[in-house]
């Protein structure tokens, strides 16, 4: 089998292997730790769903933990926890991931458990009736957490007809209507090797990882036979920009999100977006925090955010404030948007923002799990691998003109869609 694998050394301790059947394996060796992180990413998630099946990817993610042909749900739970490790999963818009953090000596055990869950779940009706209730409770939790719910409302407002605007958890109506056959159909068309990425980081070698991956059957098949094809993400229409939507809810605070569509994950301008977002609302020293919280006392929680996906991105601001002060807070935020769009970042302000971003990028890679995530993301989002040094140089090379162009395009107040959630629709 090794003769048919295409292995490339991406960096000093980083390798990528592609098998004939399409599965991609990435690893980074970190010899200074005694642990390892390993995960499998399925390139199918909420962005691939039809509206009536909204939430099916997330429900399947839950259901594979309920038992396999070899393990009960309890045996899955004990398999790694009994060794001091952890096992988890999540569903995003572009992928569904299953990952573990274990002692380096338990790497093969972790991959065995994850493979078992992904390739051989039983998906019983009896388990579905129970787990459906768990997911419905999860949806209720979001409804009881307005600072989460307002983001779901924003996605729906910006992409009302596209799966990027769907709720990842689904709705109570769609989840209640999903059947075991729906889960089995999704599993058949999405959970096959050619649609998966395996990534690992920690005290391991790429050759040993490949041997374990092969032992688990991930290299079986040549990819030439007709494999199930997951539908591509539908073309993303232009996001709805510059509208205001107020949703009434009996809450103690008014929760407001300003947001606009930006750029995909693989776009190199994302590093410039991170720099601008950091100085705009990335911490206690940011402009929004200093203006809205420290100077005006209008909010406790205020921050900027960036999210990058395979086909698009989002950037914006969240604030939670007293209903009577909501309009003042929104006015102050619009003022900062206008200032950023007009002035950009210059001189010392730009250098400080770049240094903050450089520090965050370096600190974010301190754990094997973080390194695993970074490798997987390059494959999930179709990004060319860049070493940390290359990324840092990209940030350091950002000019005032680069930042001014991003600020003028994406921070213009008239471009922002605004969604508020609270008493009287968020109006004071």
Q: How far apart are CA 387 and CA 374, in angstroms?
A: 11
- Answer whether 195's CB lies under 8 Å from 44's CB: yes
Q: Roughly what angle, to the nearest 10 degrees, separates helices 400-410 and 270-281?
A: 80
Question: In this predicted structure, what is the pLDDT of residue 427?
Answer: 58
Q: Which of 64, 60, 82 is nearest to 73 (CA)?
A: 64
Name the phi and psi angles at 396, rounded to 5.
-60, -30
- Tens of pLDDT along the chain (428 residues)? 556 899 999 999 999 999 999 999 999 999 999 999 999 999 999 999 999 999 999 999 999 999 999 999 999 999 999 999 999 999 999 999 999 999 999 999 999 999 999 999 999 999 999 999 999 999 999 999 999 999 999 999 999 999 999 999 999 999 999 999 999 999 999 999 999 999 999 999 999 999 999 999 999 987 665 555 656 788 999 999 999 999 999 999 999 999 999 999 999 999 999 999 999 999 899 999 999 999 999 999 999 999 999 999 999 999 999 999 999 999 999 999 999 999 999 999 999 999 999 999 999 999 999 999 999 999 999 999 999 999 999 999 999 999 999 999 999 999 999 999 999 765 54
End-to-end CA distance of the chain, in Å?
67
Question: In this predicted structure, what is the pLDDT of residue 224?
Answer: 66
Q: How far apart are CA 128 and CA 124, in angstroms?
A: 6
Q: How far apart are CA 110 and CA 102, in angstroms?
A: 7
Other C-beta atoms lying within 10 Å of the C-beta of residue 383: 17
- Please report which helix (H) or strand (E) contains residue 75, including its range: helix 73-81
SS3 284: coil
Q: Which long-range contacts (CB under 8 A, 24 or more apart) does 3-11 make?
A: 5/210, 5/219, 7/206, 7/210, 10/385, 10/387, 11/385, 11/387
pTM higher than 0.85, yes or no? yes
Question: In this predicted structure, what is the pLDDT of residue 428?
Answer: 45
Q: Are strands 14-18 and 24-29 parallel, antiparallel or unpaired?
A: antiparallel
Active site residues: 61
Judge residue 154's burial from the number of C-beta atoms within 10 Å of its C-beta, 0-12 exposed, 13-18 middle, 19 or more buried: buried
């Amino acid at each position: 089998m090794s003769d048919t694998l295409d292995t490339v050394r991406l960096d000093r301790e980083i390798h990528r292997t592609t098998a004939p059947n399409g599965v991609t394996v990435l690893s980074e060796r970190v010899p200074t730790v005694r642990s390892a992180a390993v995960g499998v990413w399925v390139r199918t998630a909420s962005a691939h769903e039809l509206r009536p099946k909204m939430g099916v990817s997330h429900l399947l993610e839950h259901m594979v933990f309920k038992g396999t042909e070899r393990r009960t749900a309890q045996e899955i739970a004990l398999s790694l926890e009994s060794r001091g490790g952890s096992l988890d999963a999540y569903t995003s818009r572009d992928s569904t991931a299953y990952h573990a953090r274990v002692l380096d000596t338990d790497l093969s055990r972790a991959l065995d458990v994850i493979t078992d869950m992904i390739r051989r779940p039983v998906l019983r009706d009896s388990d579905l009736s129970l787990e459906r209730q768990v997911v419905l409770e999860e949806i209720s939790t979001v409804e009881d957490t307005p600072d989460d719910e307002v983001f779901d409302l924003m996605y729906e407002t910006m992409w009302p007809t596209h799966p990027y605007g769907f709720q990842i958890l689904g709705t109570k109506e769609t989840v209640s209507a999903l059947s075991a056959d729906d889960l089995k159909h999704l599993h058949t068309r999405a959970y096959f090797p050619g649609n998966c990425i395996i990534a690992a980081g920690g005290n391991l070698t790429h050759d040993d990882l490949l041997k374990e991956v092969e032992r688990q059957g991930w290299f079986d098949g040549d990819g030439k036979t007709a494999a199930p094809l997951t539908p591509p993400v539908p073309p993303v229409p232009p996001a709805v920009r510059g509208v205001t939507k107020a949703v009434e809810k009996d809450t103690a605070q008014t929760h407001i999100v300003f947001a606009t569509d930006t750029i995909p994950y693989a776009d190199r301008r994302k590093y410039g977006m991170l720099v601008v977002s950091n100085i705009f609302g990335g911490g206690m020293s940011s402009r929004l925090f200093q203006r809205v919280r420290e100077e005006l006392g209008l909010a406790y929680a205020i921050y900027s955010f960036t999210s990058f996906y395979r086909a698009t991105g989002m950037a914006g601001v969240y604030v939670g404030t007293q209903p009577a002060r909501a309009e003042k807070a929104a006015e102050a935020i619009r003022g900062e948007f206008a200032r950023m769009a007009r002035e950009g970042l210059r001189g010392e302000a730009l250098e400080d923002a770049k240094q903050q971003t450089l520090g965050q990028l370096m600190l974010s890679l301190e754990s094997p799990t973080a390194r695993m995530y970074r490798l997987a993301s390059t494959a999930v989002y179709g990004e060319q691998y860049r070493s940390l040094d290359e990324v840092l140089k990209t940030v350091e090379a950002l000019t005032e003109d680069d930042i001014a162009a991003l600020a003028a395009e994406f921070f213009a107040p008239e471009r922002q869609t605004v969604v508020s959630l609270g008493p009287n629709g968020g109006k004071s």
